[in-house]
Chains A and B, each alone.
Chain A
Amino acid sequence: MISLCVSDLTHEYDERLVFRSVSLEFEGSCLSITGHNGSGKSTLMRILAGLLTPTQGRAEFSCDGMRVARDSLRNMVGLAAPDVGLYGELSARENLAFLSSVRFGRIDSKRIERTLESVGLAERSDDPVNELSSGLRQRACFAAAILHEPPILLLDEPSSNLDDRGVAMLKELIALQKERGMVIIATNDASEAALAQETLRLGVAH
């Protein structure tokens, strides 16, 4: 069982306050984070992924009662966010092969195929990512985030570039992740937020 404990979390960029004293305890399979533009959703996702150290407070995941150390987050968390790009001159398959090499020490072709199929990118998997449409690029980002089948999946504005079929694929992916562990969605889309058991609303930072 995975749980998330956020206590007294504050973050500032230079001297601009993004959010202050955010606290939350969550033990479940799906959490949504909502809030207007600039409320700090993406910043909070980066903190949860271990990419950013908060100015104050803590955000920690626990798995079966054991705290997940920051060094282990790399293997426990998958993040799909607008500011996490793929290598544009490589194809989606080559990007996944690279991620497989750094994560597992070898190219796991079966896992790569399975992942590409699960995001509906098998047919265009050999095209350079730069030549894909924004929706297909978004799917490639999902593939990169779930390749290592992380127990915790963080999705930042996941449906922003997707068509109807893409949204259906995303809902399947979220349902699968709920079985695997935890999914946290930063969104302003009411239908996505409704998939969660709890919602954290980030307000205006003064």
Chain B
Amino acid sequence: MKTQSPDSIIARTEPGTLRGLACVLRSAVAVLAKDLRCEFRVKQAISAILLFAVTSCIAVSFTLSAYGGNSPVSATLLWIVVYFSAMSGLSRSFVREEDMRTAALLRLSTSPGSVYLGKLAFNWLLVTALQIVAVPLLIVFLGMNVSGWAEFAGVMLAGGLALSAGATTAAAMVSKAATKGAVFAVICFPLLAPALAASIHGSSLAMDPRAIMSAAGDIRILASYCGTLITASLMLFRFIWED
């Protein structure tokens, strides 16, 4: 029986090389595909998120439909719905791994960077699905107007990524805690407050036909926030994930 020598193994997984980066990305795609497959079978996170989104959109429309034309109010309501709906499901990706005792299997099989990137991509897809449902509902129920669709889409994508990046890191931190739900919300809010503020401001500008300023500045802020948070998370994630 042929055994692998440590030399060949170290060469295959060596970080900091293009080959090492390709390995990390391939493994991240595998983690994403596995999470999507599991989610399609149990529909836990997506059900929680979409149920919360639909319920809150309808609840908001009962009393606040008169404010649909007011872009700051509409933008704030939109992001409140997106933020709290996302919080109801985004922690599941890591919490489930700990609850089902599969976290050890993942730790034994792939690098922390692959796990983080795979979970981040999964959470971003969940937030995007949430936005695809919540935005049309608010347009219909609240009479929300969007004047600059390209900028609005840019804010949604960047804001969604920021939300996912913060929530992924926070979910990994709380996954071993006894009171996961409460701790997750407590950690997420201060971490995500700057991104939430920029998302609301950018969305408001993209909705307002009389706006003098462009939402491009907010998109740049969100992109910088995502870049910083994802880089820092990739560097620190192994200390959260291992042990």
Contact = CB atoms under 8 A, between A and B. Distances in A.
B102 A101 contact: no
Given A85-B101, A105-B26, A151-B3, A99 B109 contact: yes
A6 interface: no
B108 A84 contact: yes
A108 B5 CA distance: 20
Interface in B24-64: 26-27, 29-31, 33-34, 37-38, 41-42
Nearest to B30: A101
Q: How large is the interface on B (under 10, 10 to 19, 20 to 34, 35 or more residues)?
A: 35 or more
Contact of A149 (B1, B13, B101, B114): B1
B105 A151 contact: no
A23 interface: no
B12 interface: yes
Interface bracket on A: 35 or more
Q: Is the interface of B mostly helix, strand, loop or mixed?
A: helix
A75 B12 CA distance: 10
A50 B238 CA distance: 13
Contact of A74 (B26, B31, B100, B108): B108
Interface string A83-96: 11111111000100
B97 to A, nearest CB: 9
B109 A180 contact: no
B192 interface: no
B107 interface: yes
A176 B2 CA distance: 12
Q: Nearest 9 pairs between A and B by C-beta?
A: A101-B30, A85-B101, A102-B110, A89-B41, A105-B26, A75-B9, A102-B27, A84-B104, A180-B1
Interface of A: 46, 49-53, 63-64, 66, 68-69, 71-72, 74-79, 81, 83-90, 94, 98-99, 101-103, 105, 144, 149, 151, 176, 179-181
